[in-house]
Structures are given as structure tokens and as C-alpha cells.
Amino acid sequence: MGSPSVDQLTIKIFADGADLKGMKEAAAQPLVKGFTTNPTLMRQAGITDYKQFALEVLKLIPDRPVSFEVFADDFPTMEAQGREIASWGSNVYVKVPVTNTKGEFAGPLMTRLAGAGIKLNVTAIMTNEQVKRVGAALAKDVPAIVSVFAGRIADTGRDPVPLMREAVSLLKDRPQAELLWASPRELLNIFQADEIGCHIITVTGDVIRKLALVGKDLDGYSLETVAMFYRDAQTAAFTIPIGSEQAA
């Protein structure tokens, strides 16, 4: 089995999160080419003022794409929020869900926002039928990100690789649209996404930290693991009575 190399990757790695400290650490890594957030991550991070947080992020990260999501459920309010979010910075991508909570496709909204020159990140996509419809709604000359939640697809027992490979093909007539592999579950997903020609993958802090393991010698890693088990057993002072000790 060949040894993988981070230097050979062509896919762009985006950091996913809403913790300012973690985002600052990620921004210090040249390998990280952009950032994504969402309302769930922001709530988990204790964010209470959406715009204030976003402006702090953009002050910290002025030179790479950053995605902020609308959170209304009706399309007129989504559009108003999207236009406001887009005004916060030239590196901002407006995240728009593929549907609202009623399952209504957000295509007309995407077309209006893209038509106004607003860069979009269309999120929560899980089927290639959705990819087709999103691609048709986007402007050919305006940058956009098409986020397919490959990790959540894998959570259902389906292999996301064939679906993502087809999605790459479906977006070929939209040269400004980049396919994003969202919600990866392990570092291996970065290499899978890269191999099929996916443009971007979002990566959480715990997976970014695993990049240091890429290409690690497996014999040495095995020995380190054995030593870890031994060390922890010694630290815990485990004992197993054997033979006469047990009888006594």
C-alpha cells in the first residue's frame, strides 16, 4: 500500500467551526484555504450576536472565503438576510439551504441572489437530483459552492464516493461552481474526495490535527500503540492474580 502525502493534494481544505480561537489557529495554517460556519455550530459555541461574531471572523480572516448561513424559513426573508450577509465582506459566501423546512426548493432564491453577483454556498444537499437542480439555478459567471453532505450520506450506510464522483460530472457546465464534500467522518475522506476531483472539503479541528499522521510509518505507529496500552495499564496499576496467587 502506497504512502499518502499531503503535498500531493489538489483539493482545498476549509475549516468548519464557529469557535474564534479554533478559527484563529486554523487561519495560521497555509493548508487551510477557507472557512465555513452554520447556525448549529454557532449555537454550540455560545454565539448570541450573529453579525458581531461574523464581523469578528472577517476581521480575523480577511483573505480567504468564509461562509455564513441565512436562517429564515421563508424565501423573501432569506433573500433579505442573504443580501445583508453578502455586504459584510468581499470574501463572504452566503450559505443557503437547498430547501426550506417545508421541502420547497430554493432554486428561485439562488437565481436571484446569484443574479445580483452574490457568491453562494448551497448547503444540506444529499442527492444528485438536488445537485442538478442547484447547478441549473446558479449563474455561470458567479462563484458558488455546492455542498453535498457526503458524511451524512455515509451515516445511512451508503457509499458517498460514487455519488460524489457523479456530482463532479454534473457541475462541469458550471465552471464557477465548486463541489464541496461536507461533514467528513475521517481523514481518509480528504484523499477520497481529492481522488475523484472534488474541489473542496470541510474539515473540523480534530481532523485537521490528524494531518500530522499522514504518511506515518505503520510499523512505528503499531509500536507506539503497544507502548500506549502498556503505559496506561501500568499507570492504572492493573493486576491479574495468576496461579498460586489466585488460589491464595
Q: Which residues are catalytic?
A: 95
Question: CA 24, 68, 188 angle in degrees (round to 5)?
Answer: 65
Instruction: Name which of 192, 196, 194 is nearest 165 in CA terms.
Output: 196
On whether the CB atoms of residues 197 and 166 are closer than 8 A, the answer is: no
Residue written as grid cell 484523499? 191
- For the chain, counts of helices (H) and of strands (E): 12, 8
Dihedral angle, C-alpha 218, 224, 225, 227, nearest 10 °: 150
Query: Helix (H, G, I), strand (E, B), or coil: what is residue 220?
Result: helix
